[in-house]
Structure 1
């Protein structure tokens, strides 16, 4: 038990002493009164915290930092003192931001509003964050903060927030892997991400979500078959059966188009595209090079090409040799969105007109 009169003297020093005296006092309180080996009465503890609250803003950073580390995991501390430390410079605030159980959701959300990036990252790394706090962190739109949150497996993230993050991930590659590892990610979210992540993560999606519809499985199967082909074109044209396309969901011929593009064989690609669409050579040139990606989207939709094959195709055609970089561009996302909104029946009608009267249709 500490001497109460001595503690009262410490209070007077805290109120009236020099900065040097206050710093020494803080160190003494931290080392003696707050040590786990010391037992204080409730009154003595109140006096200690009264002193600390009085002088905490007036001592050196290293002293405040030591105090923050000492109090971070204690529950018998005045909340006012914890909030003061949490709002301090980052080196002081970090221990209580990450560990103090006295900080409630409302406190953490207010700290997100009031403080800057480093404070946000420390909050994002807290154990067992609630969905409301996670939502406030996502609301900062800071990539480093959001990535830290996504990597915190103990944090809860609301479904609505996850949908928002999936949309953001179309343009932010750093979110891809940690998002796919979140337990809150459902098959619908994964299906959306499949359209813009890299090949390795696509395979991860299919492995994790076995219930995904056959369209995704077929897309992966095509990629695997591409890799296993010994022959450059692997007899794909012989496998192409237009009467059986919708029954099997498998289009060897479009896969051959992609293979030609990957190999840089543009003339072969144009020839295959002409065979697939039954357009004239002039019309093919207009579709591929003169009319923009929207026209290509209509023709591909009418020809039964799926979103993923179409996406790969425009990356090779418009990516300037940087297909994966183009996949992250706003133009790519805009074109994919346009493609997905095209009505297949309407696209087929347009393509028939281009076939039957190419001169009048352009």
Structure 2
């Protein structure tokens, strides 16, 4: 098989007339990946050279995009790495790469100067959670992008935004992010260090963080002792109310019956008999503790995390945990109803739809569950 050798970028414009560039698409068919890669990078060199000498024709941009679309995954990934920080590439090509699978899209989303806020908003609307996380991490994203992330209310994406200190957020957007940290513990640690945190928001955050983060807030701000005392009292009252709602949620020492349930689940797991269907059976037999230990074991979660989900003010974490272990999302309303019968109406779901999330892979659901159930001081997951 002959090898395609692309002409030098400085001479290819004369060697291949634009009227014949469409033939390049035919040349890629039945060629080895190495040939395809060399041809595509040759066209990239041509496009860069043309832009440097007065501008590239639209037809050349169309060929560049068409060749990229038909290229294999590894070739698209190499091209994305090359184009991640350049200003000469076709903007439509960069947008296409940003919507490709995440390993290809990541370097482009992270750094391309050709992606504008409108493009990033389109990625947030159309692409996967992994793409959205990368948008949230992108340096200097605009206020409209940050607002869209908060409106989406995805735990993992909001956590990424909280760690992005260069993101532009207006006061209302940042205040909303602080409010979300009441339920999403993973937000708390990055928010205590965020440059947009002011004294008023710090006092609000102070109410629901753990002792280590309270100390960090106190070290950063000179807070009025009276206002601190009021914040502590408010937090204590809220905590007492939640603690009274369930009797067994996060106790450090399990009662004897729960020890028995933990041993039963461990035995089933060791024998290869612990399956998602068994969790439903446990609920039908009114064995909530067995369900909790089984869910923790199948999902490789901490039992305390599952207990906190069962005692929550929203069913979203429980839905994510069930998704992570392979329970059918269509079965979740029935699962939730059974759990509430056994658990004094918890987890609550004030708007009756907070758990109704878009499709997640098992791995993504598990990651988001751990974010939501991170400890009060924002330990990593």
Report the TM-score, using the length of structure 2 for normalisation.
Answer: 0.56
- Match among 133, 150, 155 for residue 143 of structure 1: 155
Show the counterpart of 1:19: 29
Instruction: Confirm whether residue 6 of structure 1 aligns to residue 18 of structure 2.
Output: no
SS at match of 1:139: helix
Kept in 2, the 8 Å contact 1:72–1:100? The answer is yes
TM-score, normalised by the number of residues in structure 1? 0.59
Measure how far apart 1:153 and its partner are: 1.5
CA distance in 1, matches of 2:124, 2:243: 43
Query: How far apart, CA to CA, are the structure 1 residues paired with 2:106 and 2:227?
Result: 47
CA distance in 2, matches of 1:44, 1:330: 58
The question of 1:307 aligning with 2:234 is answered: yes
Gaps of 5+ in 2: 1-9, 252-303, 315-345, 349-381
- Give distance in 1, aligned partners of 2:45 and 2:90: 17
Per the alignment, do residues 3 and 62 of structure 1 end up closer, same or farther by CA in structure 2, a change over 3 Å counting?
same
CA shift for structure 1 position 19: 2.5
Q: Which has the higher helix share?
A: 1
Match for residue 117 of structure 2 among 102, 105, 123: 105
Partner SS, residue 170 of structure 1:
coil
* Equivalent residues in 2 for 1:215-254, closer than 5 Å: 215-216=227-228
* RCO comparison, higher one (Cα < 8 Å, 6+): 2
Aligned counterpart, 1:266: none
Q: Does 1:181 align with 2:186?
A: no
Q: Distance in 2 between matches of 1:319 and 1:118?
A: 35
The residue that corresponds to 1:72 in the other structure is 84
Shift of the alpha carbon at 1:26? 4.3
Q: How far apart, in 2, do the equivalents of 1:165 and 1:210 lie?
A: 22
Q: Secondary structure at the match of 2:21?
A: helix
Q: Which residue matches 1:353? A: none
The question of 1:88 aligning with 2:100 is answered yes
Secondary structure of 2:152's match? coil
What's the Cα RMSD here? 3.5
Mapped to 1, the partners of 2:151 and 2:239 lie a distance apart of 32
The 1:105/1:194 distance shift into structure 2, 3 A limit, reads same
- Once the two structures are superposed, residues 17-60 of structure 1 have per-residue CA deviations (whole angstroms, 9 ceiling, x without a partner) of 35234955642245445469x85564785465342112221111
Structure 1 counterpart of 2:258:
none
Larger radius of gyration: 1
Name the structure 2 match of 1:130.
142
Cα distance between partner residues in 1 of 2:231 and 2:76 = 57
Does the Cα contact within 8 Å between 1:206 and 1:217 map onto a contact in 2? no
- Rounded Cα–Cα distance in structure 2 between residues aligned with 1:315 and 1:136: 31
Q: How many residues are treated as equivalent by the alignment?
A: 248
Going from structure 1 to structure 2, the CA distance change for 1:313 and 1:96 (only over 3 Å counts) comes to closer
1:201 to 213, 235, 239: 213
Q: Distance in 2 between matches of 1:194 and 1:141?
A: 22
Residue 68 of structure 2 contacts residue 76 of structure 2 at CA under 8 Å; is this kept in 1?
A: yes
